[in-house]
Amino acid sequence: MANTSYLEAGHRALREEMQRDERVWALGEDLGRGGVFGQYRGLQDTFGDERIVDTPISEACIMGAAVGAAMTDTRPVVEMRFSDFALCAVDELVNQAAKARFMFGGQMRVPLVVREPIGIWRSSAAQHSQSLEAWYAHIPGLVVVAPSTPADNLGLLKSAIRCDDPVVYMEHKNLWGFEGEVPEDEHLVPLGKAEIARAGRDVTLVTWSAMRHASLETAEELAARGIEVEVIDLRTLWPWDRDTVLASVERTGRLLVAQEAVSVAGFGAEIAATVAETLHDRLEAPVRRLGAPRIPVAYAPPLEDRVRVSKDEIVEAVVGMTRTSPSRVPAGQ
Amino acid sequence: MANTSYLEAGHRALREEMQRDERVWALGEDLGRGGVFGQYRGLQDTFGDERIVDTPISEACIMGAAVGAAMTDTRPVVEMRFSDFALCAVDELVNQAAKARFMFGGQMRVPLVVREPIGIWRSSAAQHSQSLEAWYAHIPGLVVVAPSTPADNLGLLKSAIRCDDPVVYMEHKNLWGFEGEVPEDEHLVPLGKAEIARAGRDVTLVTWSAMRHASLETAEELAARGIEVEVIDLRTLWPWDRDTVLASVERTGRLLVAQEAVSVAGFGAEIAATVAETLHDRLEAPVRRLGAPRIPVAYAPPLEDRVRVSKDEIVEAVVGMTRTSPSRVPAGQ
Amino acid sequence: MTQNAARAEETSANLDSERLLPVLSLMWKIRLFEETAIEAQREGLVLGAIHPSIGQEAVAAGICPNLRQADLLLSTHRGHGHTLAKGADPLAMMMELFGRAEGTCGGKGGSMHIADFGVGMLGANGVVGANITIGVGAAHALKMRRSDDIAVCIFGDGAINRGPFLEGLNWARVYDLPVLFVCEDNGFSATTRTRTLTGGPGAVARAESLGLPAEEVDGNDVLGVDAAARTAIDAIRQGGGPRFLQCRTYRMTGHTAVDPATYRDAAEVEEWRAHCPIARLEGALRLAGVDEARMQQQRTEAEQYMQDVYARARDAEWPDPAQAFADVQDIGNPAERAY
Amino acid sequence: MTQNAARAEETSANLDSERLLPVLSLMWKIRLFEETAIEAQREGLVLGAIHPSIGQEAVAAGICPNLRQADLLLSTHRGHGHTLAKGADPLAMMMELFGRAEGTCGGKGGSMHIADFGVGMLGANGVVGANITIGVGAAHALKMRRSDDIAVCIFGDGAINRGPFLEGLNWARVYDLPVLFVCEDNGFSATTRTRTLTGGPGAVARAESLGLPAEEVDGNDVLGVDAAARTAIDAIRQGGGPRFLQCRTYRMTGHTAVDPATYRDAAEVEEWRAHCPIARLEGALRLAGVDEARMQQQRTEAEQYMQDVYARARDAEWPDPAQAFADVQDIGNPAERAY
Ligand SMILES: Cc1ncc(C[n+]2csc(CCOP(=O)(O)OP(=O)(O)O)c2C)c(N)n1
Ligand SMILES: Cc1ncc(C[n+]2csc(CCOP(=O)(O)OP(=O)(O)O)c2C)c(N)n1
Ligand SMILES: [Mg+2]
Ligand SMILES: [Mg+2]
């Protein structure tokens, strides 16, 4: 085990996979300089500028070229810089990459990974802060991954690169510097498997990406108050690990989802709806979601903070759910 | 009252609003020839080519120009032909139109309507059949409308054009020829108000767009079997009419959502989750969603049909929900 | 243009009729495939929209015979001709239009999504211009592996007003990719004249401004297209980087098979009919002394072939509904009926 | 270039120093606003990323003084200079960078989203190239209402590789819109040299291929920029349709204020420092006989002004958190805290 940052873990994943398979290459803006957050530092020295490719500011072509190159027996890793800029390349991802294998009757596959850093990060404001994982979970053909720890960023990125499906890989910008233990040997994390980050008997708290950490910290605080929260980090949003979530709620009888994204039509709705559909009779309290209000992310901290799910809210929600008589007051919209 | 098609109703709405307010104009491909489905037939003769504007095949610029023109005291109606092509203009809609008013501190508004025809229609295949209303419902700043009848297409399009927010207006391609009664006088339908298309005491069936019709027909069939289904046509997905839906489920104790879109992370999840959160104790059966499986829409009818929610499925779901002991078998994914 | 005219004349002087009879045959194959499909659509056998290229056959037939099977082709919604010319099986294509199990894509794609990876045909596309960046990516992969195969990307004149045109051509130049871009310029963007939607002198000037050698040819003259394509393809194969070819042509049908195309007058259509690319090639072959009967034979064979294709496609099996759930993805592929 | 040089010389012979002293003052205002902001960022007062335009002031100061307040301006992430030159209040802008309630956008936007509709400044933009199509739409609206106001859209050299460049310029030509496009060419796309990412001769050739009259000027020579902009703006205002101006310049800082810009060597930076646009204007004014003290005064006044701006912004109020829920939309605006 070594202590490594989330950023370094992603760096190592790409390096190892590029060493293992020469069909793997990466393309995006400023990669030769290390990428906007330094995730590609030094890789062009190692692999040359034909495998770590500096591209024009042409998101549509970056994604489209990756689709064509993936159909032509290479395995591109696309860097979109901010998931917000990937909105300049949605046709290429959603109409082309996601559908090609199916439309063409299974003649080929589109093994590409698109890295789309998400999340709120230091006054980045409305065009640099979005978390749109729910969009891609809604699109047949796409795999959606949102790692939260250095070990997962290593193991999931490696698995994503090995996957033959197009993978939307969403790192969280606020986690780049986050450190944790990472195995020194080959480390793969299977796509589609959640992690029970903390076991608990009272409430199942399903989360992913950066919210894992606030959730775990809150769970500790709640443990001190005698409430044992089971924290499940989904890691992959499509396919999401229904079995693990349902088994947990089957035990706890309570589901809370904590997501950074806008709650309305966010992926939490899928989880909450599925649990409510499947385990209605087992529920000892109504399912519940926490997420951002349906407002853009503002620049000034007092406003930006209004978007964040706070630990206090998690505490309040958990405590509310574990009271005997569940609240019946309808929330406003 | 006059009998009018859904297409004609939309045509009339635009014509009336263009007559009422000279700041209203429409832009898109082939509008001078009437638009791809004939929705604009003759309008260029009436209003000239400066108000019914034939554009290059430049979806990004169509949408971007509409944003700029909406900020400059005009009221553009954007035609995207198929909602699928609007994926070439997502930055312009989501990063710009939806966020501008907020980002700029409320200095202006972006009163544009973007018409994005959705839905499965006669072997149109994967790139011409999508229903992505859930995406836009997830984006702060956008209003999302999905009319299902001629009268609503008249009254909602007029309201959308008068609305000062950017509106994603999703007509269903399979409804163009659908006929119904439409008031001959000025007819406005308020945004954000659902319609109880059929009253019923046993199950609340929430739907929108083309699924309204299958839902109503099924409800009649079920009535013959003694089950009274209340069919609520949401009409507007954002803001959706929570009050009407919650009041109905409060009465019936059962919620079924029927949507044409992919069920996973579809808007039905938002409704089901909200109802489960809010009315858990009132529910006499688990909430339930019907929607497309998470597969692209294929060309051949036997495959295309697998995507459609059939009346049989609605019947089965309703009957299942009204049985005393709700099913406990978890659905696969 | 003068250069082309000269080259065409020169070519016609020593016409290689043995090489050109198959080209004539190919043009008939395309023409009759599409006429058959249009007829079949009237009968309800073709299920979705089709965009015929009748009148435009010289583009496909001028370019694709200069390609190897391993070369890669990207096409558009109006792609039957290109696909046939690249070597796809007409029967499988017709079955695809009919939505049958043995169609090129198992009935999943239809006309706008025909692909045949076995012959290097990487797909038609339902989104105008989207094939440009995908084609560029295919060329990028070819270059990475030091292949001397090339990619060819054909698109319409309407596509030059979409952003991917700029992004894709720029990309091809920046990385010096082995790709030929072909603008099949039929004068229309769906039902609107492209020139009313296009600033500046047009596609060639745009390509040149992005650093690509570019040329315009008469797209109804298969000899001219063939000569220009051969020159360009040779240069690209030898590592000369991307090139651009604009072929001016005209579609004799509407935008789709059901479009009556009332937006243009009969005189214009008649004028173009006089330039029918098939008749023109026949004229050239006739001048070069090719036997009338051998020419007629190309047509007759194609006719018989397409009749057979039609009959077999009509009787072909529908796909198994379970196939709707196949080939979506490996991870998270939905189980049938469970959602 | 020769034309420009000639024009610049001619201009310098009969310099209108009364008109140019305010331009010098404006350039100092921009320079010192940004130096103040960089310093404030070190102190933690500026919250998000800022992209300084130090060294590029001649573009903003050459173009915007030729505009009316009712003319519309669209800018980029590197937009402080343009915005100040269009007449926005430096104090409100600094408060915006500090995230305060009285900032230009109430603290909601920050540096990359400053807009001041009151002076016709329709917004910076966080998405490269996105302002092009928005600017085109603003010009479209102006034309529709037969206004003789114009729109100006400034973007970087990196933006010419994005699709909206083609779509927007084409659109402007097709509808003959009153819009001036300005490519502020500082040679870099973030941290990569744009020329390594750009096929063909560049922005001017591309604009010309789309039918726009286009010109390149020395973007560090405010007299040249001013002259070219004036000519272009007059022509546009008189109904001459869209025009294009490329201004070659250099940014003296990194891409953002915290980028050490190690990807370029000191000699290059020093060479450009010698072309400092402010020093060049001062040199010209000196030659034209303007008093040293009057020039010094422009700087001193700007310094004092920015010190005051800094102090007042630092002490300004934070926005009320409830404002996070304001101005999202009319219909379906979320109620505070309820979600
Ligand atoms: C991005 C996009 N916008 C619009 C359409 C609708 N559409 C289909 S074909 C077509 C015209 C294309 O014109 P051109 O590129 O010249 O090709 P042609 O049809 O003439 O072969 C249009 C607008 C589309 N398929 N994709
Ligand atoms: C669509 C998009 N892609 C990438 C970025 C990230 N980015 C911000 S500024 C920049 C460089 C832009 O270069 P240029 O247009 O020359 O403007 P400059 O920064 O030199 O003023 C990049 C790549 C972005 N903001 N938007
Ligand atoms: Mg065309
Ligand atoms: Mg630059």
pLDDT digits (tens, 9 = 90+) for C247-303: 999 999 999 999 999 999 999 999 999 999 999 999 999 999 999 999 999 999 999
Which residues in B lie closer than 8 A to residue A110 (C-beta atoms)? none
Chains sharing 3 or more CB pairs under 8 A with chain D: A, B, C
Across the interface, whether the CB atoms of A95 and B102 are under 8 A apart is answered no
Position A332 scores a pLDDT of 38
List of chain A residues with pLDDT < 50: 325-333
CA nearest to A101 within chain B = B296
CA gap C276, C55 in Å, rounded: 6
Chains sharing 3 or more CB pairs under 8 A with chain A: B, C, D
Question: Which atom from ligand 1 is nearest to the alpha carbon of C162?
Answer: 1
Position A326 scores a pLDDT of 43
Q: Is A294 on the interface with D (CB under 8 A)?
A: yes
Quick check: D14 pLDDT over 90? no
> Is there an atom of ligand 2 within 6 Å of D90 CB?
no
> Is there an atom of ligand 2 within 6 Å of A202 CB?
no
A270 assigned to some structural domain: yes
Q: Is D116 on the interface with B (CB under 8 A)?
A: yes
CB-nearest partner of C130 from A71, A96, A143: A96
Across the interface, whether the CB atoms of A287 and B276 are under 8 A apart is answered yes
Which residues in A lie closer than 8 A to residue D334 (C-beta atoms)? 293-295, 333
Those residues whose C-beta lies under 8 Å from the C-beta of residue D199, and which sit 6 or more positions away, are C169, C170, C171, C172, C173, C174, C210, C211, C212
CB-nearest partner of D166 from C165, C173, C211: C165
DSSP secondary-structure letter at C56? -
Interval between CA C204 and ligand 3 midpoint (Å): 15
Find out whether A246 and B118 touch, Cβ atoms under 8 Å.
no
> Is there an atom of ligand 2 within 6 Å of D242 CB?
no
* Sequential DSSP letters for C65-112: GGS-TTSEEE--SS-HHHHHHTT--HHHHHHHHTT-TTSTTTTSS-GG
A88 assigned to some structural domain: yes
Tokens 């190897």 locate to C68
Tell me the pLDDT of chain C averaged across its residues. 95
Instruction: Let me know whether A47 and A172 are in one domain.
Output: yes
Domain C-terminal end among A155, A182, A209: A182
Position A312 scores a pLDDT of 96
C180-to-B137, C167, C173 alpha-carbon distances in Å? 42, 15, 11
B333 assigned to some structural domain: no
CA gap B17, A99 in Å, rounded: 39
Position A333 scores a pLDDT of 37
> Is there an atom of ligand 2 within 6 Å of D157 CB?
yes
Position B324 scores a pLDDT of 59
CA gap C331, C83 in Å, rounded: 31
Determine which helix (DSSP H) or strand (DSSP E) holds B154, and give its type and residue range: helix B150-162
Phi, psi angles (nearest 5°) of residue A173: -60, -30
Instruction: Let me know whether B158 and B215 are in one domain.
Output: no
- Span D92-116, average pLDDT: 98
Across the interface, whether the CB atoms of D206 and C210 are under 8 A apart is answered yes
Of A227, C111, B160, the C-alpha closest to D332 is B160
Which ipTM was obtained for this model?
Answer: 0.97
Neighbour order of strands in the sheet with B288-292 = B195-198, B229-233, B203-207, B255-262, B288-292
Domain C-terminal end among B182, B212, B244: B182
Q: Is B298 on the interface with C (CB under 8 A)?
A: yes
pLDDT digits (tens, 9 = 90+) for B189-209: 999 999 999 999 999 999 999
Give residue A220's identity as a one-letter amino acid code. E
Instruction: Let me know whether B163 and B75 are in one domain.
Output: yes
CA nearest to A138 within chain B = B265
Instruction: Let me know whether B231 and B263 are in one domain.
Output: yes
- Go through chain B and tell me how many residues it has: 333
SS3 C211: coil
Domain limits at A233?
A: 195-328
Interval between CA B317 and ligand 2 midpoint (Å): 51
Find out whether C153 and C181 touch, Cβ atoms under 8 Å.
yes
B303 assigned to some structural domain: yes
Phi, psi angles (nearest 5°) of residue A154: -65, -55
Find out whether C302 and B283 touch, Cβ atoms under 8 Å.
no
Across the interface, whether the CB atoms of B270 and A267 are under 8 A apart is answered no
Residues of B catalogued as catalytic? 128
Write out the residues surrounding ion ligand 4, Cβ under 5 A: D 156-158, 186, 188
List of chain C residues with pLDDT < 70: 1-13, 336-339
> Is there an atom of ligand 2 within 6 Å of A60 CB?
no
Q: In the B/D pair of chains, how many CB contacts fall below 8 A?
A: 152
Q: Where are the beta strands (DSSP E) in C219-262?
A: 243-248
Which residues in A lie closer than 8 A to residue B127 (C-beta atoms)? 95, 99, 103
**Helix A150-162 vs helix A6-20: crossing angle, to nearest 10:** 30
CA gap D235, C314 in Å, rounded: 63
Q: Report the number of distinct structural domains present in chain B.
A: 2
Give residue A75's identity as a one-letter amino acid code. R
Residue A215: give its domain's CATH number.
Answer: 3.40.50.920
Q: Is C179 on the interface with D (CB under 8 A)?
A: no
Tokens 């001017």 locate to D204
Which residues in C lie closer than 8 A to residue D196 (C-beta atoms)? 174
Instruction: Let me know whether B115 and B149 are in one domain.
Output: yes
CA gap B47, B15 in Å, rounded: 9
Those residues whose C-beta lies under 8 Å from the C-beta of residue D3, and which sit 6 or more positions away, are none
> Is there an atom of ligand 1 within 6 Å of C49 CB?
no
Instruction: Let me know whether A153 and A214 are in one domain.
Output: no
CA gap A285, B277 in Å, rounded: 9
CA nearest to D136 within chain B = B65
Q: Is A302 on the interface with C (CB under 8 A)?
A: no
Question: Which atom from ligand 1 is nearest to the alpha carbon of C159?
Answer: 15
Instruction: Let me know whether B202 and B168 are in one domain.
Output: no
Structure tokens at C327: 């080939």
Interval between CA A144 and ligand 2 midpoint (Å): 27
Position C9 scores a pLDDT of 54
Position C154 scores a pLDDT of 98
Give B227→chain A minimum CA distance, Å.
Answer: 21
B187 assigned to some structural domain: no
Position A327 scores a pLDDT of 41
Q: Cis peptide leading into B239, omega within 30 of 0?
A: yes
Instruction: Let me know whether A134 and A88 are in one domain.
Output: yes
B189 assigned to some structural domain: no
Instruction: Let me know whether A168 and A299 are in one domain.
Output: no
* Sequential DSSP letters for B316-330: HHHHHHHSSS---PP
Interval between CA B59 and ligand 4 midpoint (Å): 26
Position D12 scores a pLDDT of 57
Please report, to the nearest 10 degrees, the dihedral formed by the alpha carbons of residues B161, B165, B166, B172 taken in order: -50
CA nearest to A65 within chain C = C137
Domain C-terminal end among A157, A182, A207: A182
Q: Is C174 on the interface with D (CB under 8 A)?
A: yes
> Is there an atom of ligand 2 within 6 Å of A29 CB?
yes
Residue A157: give its domain's CATH number.
Answer: 3.40.50.970
Give residue D28's identity as a one-letter amino acid code. W
Q: In the A/D pair of chains, how many CB contacts fall below 8 A?
A: 144
- Terminal Cα distance for chain B, rounded: 47
Instruction: Let me know whether A70 and A215 are in one domain.
Output: no
Phi, psi angles (nearest 5°) of residue B92: -60, -35
A190 assigned to some structural domain: no
**Region for residue B289 given its phi and psi (left: phi exceeds 0; alpha: psi -120 to 50; beta: otherwise):** beta
A148 assigned to some structural domain: yes
SS3 B281: helix
CA gap A121, A72 in Å, rounded: 37
Determine which helix (DSSP H) or strand (DSSP E) holds C38, and give its type and residue range: helix C17-42
Question: Which atom from ligand 2 is nearest to the alpha carbon of D162?
Answer: 1
Those residues whose C-beta lies under 8 Å from the C-beta of residue C85, and which sit 6 or more positions away, are C26, C30, C60, C61, C63, C64, C65
List of chain B residues with pLDDT < 70: 324-333
Instruction: Let me know whether A297 and A251 are in one domain.
Output: yes
Domains of chain D: 19-312 (3.40.50.970)
Instruction: Let me know whether B139 and B118 are in one domain.
Output: yes
